[in-house]
Structure 1
Amino acid sequence: MGNEAVQIKRMELELADTPPQLTVDNHREILVRLPTKDVLRCGTVCTTWRSITTNPDFLAEHARRQQNDQVLLYTYVHREFPSNDRWVVDIVLEALHVSGDEARRRRLIPFPNKTRDWLLIASSYGVLLLRRGEGQYLLCNPLTKKWADLPSLPRIPQRDKIIHDKEYAFYFHQSSNEYRLLCRRDLLAKGTWCILSTGQSQPRYIDTQTAEAAGITELVPCLRETVTTPVSLHGHLHWPPHQGSVRDQTSMVVFDMTSEKFTQMAGPPTTTGSLVKLFDMDGLLVGADYGKEDHIDLWFLDSYGTAARWEQRHQVAIPWGPYNAGRTLRQWDLVSMAAAGDSDGNVMLGSSYGLVVYNVKRRQTVKTIDTLVTSDCNDVLVSRHMFRDNLVQHPHFAVRPSADLPFVHF
């Protein structure tokens, strides 16, 4: 063996004994692919990893990779009130992956079970929208544990103590880097649609004259009552369909987030349009039709715009029997039912009485969950809200002193 061959052999042995050191870029490429909770954990290991995992470009890329929604669950936790023998109930929000992997189910945030003071209205791009009283809104990113305020709506004198619903859509506006809430200040007056945005001090009114004249705005359901919160896709918000004048035709109200105009588009051709829940599945708009007794139809919107058409591609059998127990399913029932998809082809459907995970690529049911109740026996309710991880540090969010939020502890 010549000297050159000996040197090569020695180098190979040395490399085998001491693997080459990873560069910062190598570490970054590994970390950006990790789940959110692992990224947070790795950021505490060393200064190098902390520097990587707090870099704005890294956080933005990690957020872009988080394409899978999680279903939000309400867990009602009973605890003893410290000053007396009474019991109070807190709501703990938990996130369940669409795959149905209960080992990855995790707690996000607790808040008091007081409808007037704390009400979860919507979720968008990793941020929860909470209403405190009338016209006051708090935004919370439960992963970064930071908060922001939206401008308050002007109060209108009322004779009763009922809180009137004024919120219609909550979304993230990418070009402005703002979280926005679409509202209607006065339900009895025209021209009062407005947008509340992070970083702004006052509501901004928008022109809805054409949509109001066409009666489109009267078809928009408020966030508290809609069976699914508006789906953000292709620069538009999509509300769930309503039945049209023709028996097997439905229509959907759509809001262009750039021009801020309302229009309508065709919904799935079904006779039970009021029982359809919409969701985004890997860039496709999907409708889950709960109007059948023993199965759920999945409608997919093929293409988008003028060439768009709906296709019924799957029927998902319900393994636990008729979920409406022989009675007619009402629209309000869908508020506590899930409909969500992920990039792996999984679709989660059902309620607290039973969930099913159907895979559209394998065309079969891959998992059923009979109950969501854990060993602590707390009540669990499936919500219509979705959650998507987001660690981006938004400029208008900040840590709040515990005195400002005495009932919230992450």
Structure 2
Amino acid sequence: MAELPSEVITEILSRVPAKPLLRIRATCKWWRSLIDSTDFVFFHLTKSRHSIVILRQHSRLYELDLNSMDRVKELDHPLMCYSNSIKVLGSCNGLLCICNIADDIAFWNPSIRKHRIIPSEPLIRKETKENTAITTLLAARVYGFGYDSFSGEFKLVSISYFVDLRNRSFDSHVKIYTMRTDVWKTLTSMPYALCCARTMGVYLSGALHWVVTRDLEPESLDLIVAFDLRFEVFREVKLPGSVDGKLDMDVAVLRGMLCMVENRASEGFDVWVMREYGLGESWCKVFTVEQPRDVKLIKLLKPLGYSKNGDKVLFEQDSKKLCWYNLASKDLSWVRISGMPNNIEGTVCIGSLVPPSLQRRIVERKKPKSVDENNKKRDDFLSKGFKLTL
């Protein structure tokens, strides 16, 4: 490949998964310089199509390839020596945010095996308020992890949700950690009540998403809120016209689009996607998963991704199992992984070269200069076809 134009080499390498690139990086100083460059890291990110599922089982994390569900590999995560319990707080641009029972938190890229330990979140004094210590409880603490492309840094949001049992009221403390300052900052309270104690906000298009309600009354309707990581404010997301919020629902990302799953109890689950982010009229119901008649009632289905040929969708069921939904036959089939127990949770993580310490302001992701130059020459060469052996 030495005689190829540099822009062609850049284009070829950008399509190689992250882990093989680490081996390529070790063979040549020029390739090391290219692969380590920030321009290439982000160009590779725009091309990345290799997704893995991170499975959590108590204190252990495993890597499962979506294209070969029979192969699972245990990962040496950076908090292994700290505690016997681990949680995944979020996934963004190939990085995972993980924490343990002692509230140690790390940003970690499992593809390149690099991590960054961040300061623990300060204790919240409200948990011991003098006048209401008996009736005010910390009901939940949820997190969201994402990337602010305007400031060029990863951010972690923490929402501590308090309930006053005597007055049937609620309050929240919202804090945000930014890599640039390396400190936690307190924000304005969130004027919504969390619908469940899930620890993970859903990241898409510079915002984190949760399902919330306006008050604690049983008849209160569910809605989706987004936290804008640039402006650090909450906003409501318009629901599909036929969805009124009376039924339980959850949010996810499916094929790069905001996804909402509405639980219709014994009838099944309606799966919606927002084809154009931020445009409420672009919601579209893509399919319905019917409740199986021969198994225990499913309470939660979280979509993780499509199969390689797009004929099936992988779901996490009730935070315990993985199952495939066949779009043609409309059947559910449960995934059996040799040596793995049933009580597992799944998080999708793309393979990337993004280091956990990266700070870069990017308004719009652009190709490296070597790729933008002489595009016609590159395209003419690629059109002839080539084979790359790693």
**Structure 1 length-normalised TM:** 0.67
* Matched-pair contact (CA < 8 Å) for 2:252–2:302: no
Number of the residue aligned with 1:102: 69
Pairwise CA distance, 1:32: 0.9
Residues 356 and 171 (structure 1 numbering): CA distance in 2 closer, same or farther, change over 3 Å?
same
CA distance in 2, matches of 1:250, 1:185: 19
Indicate the structure with greater strand content: 2
Unmatched runs of 5 consecutive residues or more in structure 2: 164-169, 360-390
1:78-108 residue CA offsets vs partner (Å, 9 max, x unmatched): xxxxxxxxxxxx51322342xx532665544
* Matched-pair contact (CA < 8 Å) for 1:138–1:148: yes
User: Given residue 111 of structure 2, which amino acid in structure 1 is its aligned partner?
Assistant: L
Number of the residue aligned with 2:288: 315
Number of the residue aligned with 2:271: 298
Moved more, 60-69 or 101-110: 101-110
Q: Which has the larger radius of gyration?
A: 1
1:49 aligned to which of 3, 8, 31? 31
* 1:320-399 map, 5 Å: 321-322=292-293, 325-327=295-297, 329-330=298-299, 334=300, 337-341=301-305, 345=310, 347-351=313-317, 353=321, 355-358=323-326, 364=328, 370-374=334-338, 377-395=339-357
* Matched-pair contact (CA < 8 Å) for 1:118–1:132: yes
* Matched-pair contact (CA < 8 Å) for 1:299–1:312: yes
The runs of 4+ residues in structure 1 deviating greater than 6 Å are 113-116, 157-160, 243-249
Q: How many residues align?
A: 338
**Structure 2 length-normalised TM:** 0.69
Pairwise CA distance, 1:56: 2.1
SS at match of 2:7: helix
Number of the residue aligned with 1:197: 178
Number of the residue aligned with 1:265: 237
Residues 272 and 117 (structure 1 numbering): CA distance in 2 closer, same or farther, change over 3 Å?
same
1:239 aligned to which of 195, 210, 213? 210
* Matched-pair contact (CA < 8 Å) for 2:147–2:154: yes
1:6-65 residue CA offsets vs partner (Å, 9 max, x unmatched): xxxxxxxxxxxxx99323333222111112222223223333433332222212111122
Pairwise CA distance, 1:339: 0.7
Residues 280 and 205 (structure 1 numbering): CA distance in 2 closer, same or farther, change over 3 Å?
same
CA distance in 2, matches of 1:338, 1:57: 34
CA distance in 2, matches of 1:163, 1:103: 41
* Matched-pair contact (CA < 8 Å) for 1:220–1:253: no
Residues 134 and 75 (structure 1 numbering): CA distance in 2 closer, same or farther, change over 3 Å?
closer
Number of the residue aligned with 2:151: 176
Pairwise CA distance, 1:289: 3.4
Pairwise CA distance, 1:258: 2.2
SS at match of 1:179: strand
User: Given residue 109 of structure 2, which amino acid in structure 1 is its aligned partner?
Assistant: N
1:337-379 residue CA offsets vs partner (Å, 9 max, x unmatched): 5412359745322436551154xxxx526997543321xx342
Number of the residue aligned with 1:31: 13
CA-based RMSD of the aligned residues comes to 4.1
User: Given residue 15 of structure 2, which amino acid in structure 1 is its aligned partner?
Assistant: R
* 1:150-161 map, 5 Å: 150-156=118-124
* Matched-pair contact (CA < 8 Å) for 1:194–1:206: yes
Pairwise CA distance, 1:238: 1.9
CA distance in 1, matches of 2:225, 2:258: 14
SS at match of 2:227: strand
Residues 201 and 191 (structure 1 numbering): CA distance in 2 closer, same or farther, change over 3 Å?
same
CA distance in 2, matches of 1:282, 1:145: 26
Number of the residue aligned with 2:99: 131
CA distance in 2, matches of 1:109, 1:273: 43
Query: Is 1:251 the counterpart of 2:192 in the alignment?
Result: no
User: Given residue 155 of structure 1, which amino acid in structure 2 is its aligned partner?
Assistant: L
User: Given residue 224 of structure 2, which amino acid in structure 1 is its aligned partner?
Assistant: M
User: Given residue 179 of structure 1, which amino acid in structure 2 is its aligned partner?
Assistant: F
1:185-209 residue CA offsets vs partner (Å, 9 max, x unmatched): 684796742211224243222234x
* Matched-pair contact (CA < 8 Å) for 1:152–1:202: no
* Matched-pair contact (CA < 8 Å) for 1:241–1:273: no
User: Given residue 139 of structure 1, which amino acid in structure 2 is its aligned partner?
Assistant: F
